Amino acid sequence: MTSPKFYQLSKSERLARLVEANQLSEKDAQFLAQSQPLADELADSMIENYIGQYHLPLGIVQDVMVAGKVYQVPMAIEEPSVIAAANNAAKMMRLNGGVTIESGQRVMFGEVVLTDLPQLADAVKWVDNHFAILQTVAQKAHPSIVKRGGGLQKITTTIVENRFLKLNLEIDTKAAMGANIVNTICEAIAHAVQATLGGTILLSVLTNAAFGSVVKASVTLNPETLATATLTGDAVAQRLIDATQFAQLDVARAATHNKGIMNGIDAVIMATGNDWRAIEAGAHGYAARTGHYQPLTDWSWTSDHQLRGQIAVPLPVGIVGGSIGILPTVQVAQRLMAIETAEELAGVIAAIGLGQNLAALKALVSDGIQKGHMALQAKSLAIAVGATASELTTLLPQLLKAPHLNTETATTLLSQIRAENR
């Protein structure tokens, strides 16, 4: 009898097989066997070849003021300094009136591409003249989104390289991120167009270039807010502006500039059960939309000598659908934030991204990025090598003074401390 395939096994059977094949130790298998916070049955239904659960620390950014409302914002991330920086920025922004939000109509885009059409120009005319028919097709394909006031809003046609017919679908997905909604409608439209015009359906799927879901957030700061022990607020503000302008000219710097922004955005996306891969793809696509990769933020002086920061980033997030209603920690995060709409969530996430950029740039152009970062990194390293709470008090100052901050150094110093305390 043929043995069952790996995906056909239960979780315990998969773990046993990995142990039997010497691919996993008994100790590690026992660790993975623990089922928290999801029940095995639920987790197994979410992914293929389920063997365990992966956890990230969940932290909080306190009192983030966005559009006059104060939020407690959860973040799931493994990097020690990110939440500390976000809290620092949140305080600076709150003291200056908080973040304002500008967002237009929130739509998702889907692409239907056909090839082998004999008359591309005629095909364009037909699609342009029969939107009502195609909208009915979309409504039948996904009637529930229509009942919620959403669905297909517009179709734009493009001939690409005199070879491809591209239909760009604009779809209102309401409170959901909407990938499944968009894909369902795209496939229905593709088959309807092919049935009339012929040709070959090349693809029909959403695009993660979600430029119909761009959110803009801005903050205005009194430069005195930015003052450090060694630099005036004006000096820090000007350096921050200069750093942004350099990022506009240098792709290598722009990539790192935007990574710092995504530290905050991704962490909130993770905590709220949204698709961080889609958000990353869309953000970087938006940064390169002109053909030259650019920073997602801009900092400048106002006419009355205040520092103004702005961010524009696509944020096709949802508060329903997908794993959002399944994952218990996500549901807790939603209740903590007290978010009522997807648009509101997107605004808060944009504010976090702007704040993360503010904190990172301020550190870079003043004390340097390592001062605060390494202090937190040292604590994580000390815990990783087994230091107790009482030992941390002695170990951390020594680690920060050491020429090399690594596991070997931490282990050696901890051994010395323990030898002295015997």
Question: How many Cβ atoms sit within 10 Å of the Cβ of residue 352?
Answer: 30
323: Cβ–Cβ under 8 A, 6 or more apart, which residues? 46, 273, 330
Q: Which residue is catalytic, options 55, 125, 140, 259?
A: 259
Angle at 259 between CA 257 and CA 263, to 5 degrees: 125
The reply to whether 259 belongs to the active site is yes
Read off the amino acid at residue 42.
Answer: L
The reply to whether 362 belongs to the active site is no
Cα–Cα distance list, 191 to 132, 167, 178, 197, 200 (Å): 16, 12, 20, 10, 10
In the block, residue with structure tokens 């990230």: 56
Alpha-carbon distance of 179 to 321, in angstroms, equals 10
- Give me the DSSP letters along 162-193: TTEEEEEEEEE-TTB--HHHHHHHHHHHHHHH
Tally of residues, the chain: 422
229: Cβ–Cβ under 8 A, 6 or more apart, which residues? none
The reply to whether 292 belongs to the active site is no
* Paired tokens of 237: 């503000």
SS3 category, 158: strand
The reply to whether 275 belongs to the active site is yes
* Paired tokens of 70: 């104060």
205: Cβ–Cβ under 8 A, 6 or more apart, which residues? 110, 111, 182, 183, 186
State phi, psi for 222 to the nearest 5 degrees: -70, 125
Q: What stretches of 294-421 adopt beta strand conformation (E)?
A: 297-301, 307-314
Contact 247, 253 (CB under 8 A): yes
Contact 323, 177 (CB under 8 A): no
Q: Which residue is catalytic, options 79, 187, 234, 250?
A: 79
Give the count of alpha carbons within 13 A of 412, CB side only.
Answer: 9
Give the count of alpha carbons within 13 A of 247, CB side only.
Answer: 25
* Paired tokens of 212: 């119909």
Sheet strand arrangement including 108-115:
151-160, 164-172, 108-115, 200-206
Q: Which residue is catalytic, options 111, 172, 266, 275?
A: 275
Angle between helices 11-20 and 26-33 in degrees, nearest 10: 170
Q: Which residue is catalytic, options 11, 91, 284, 373?
A: 373
Q: Which residues are catalytic?
A: 79, 259, 275, 373
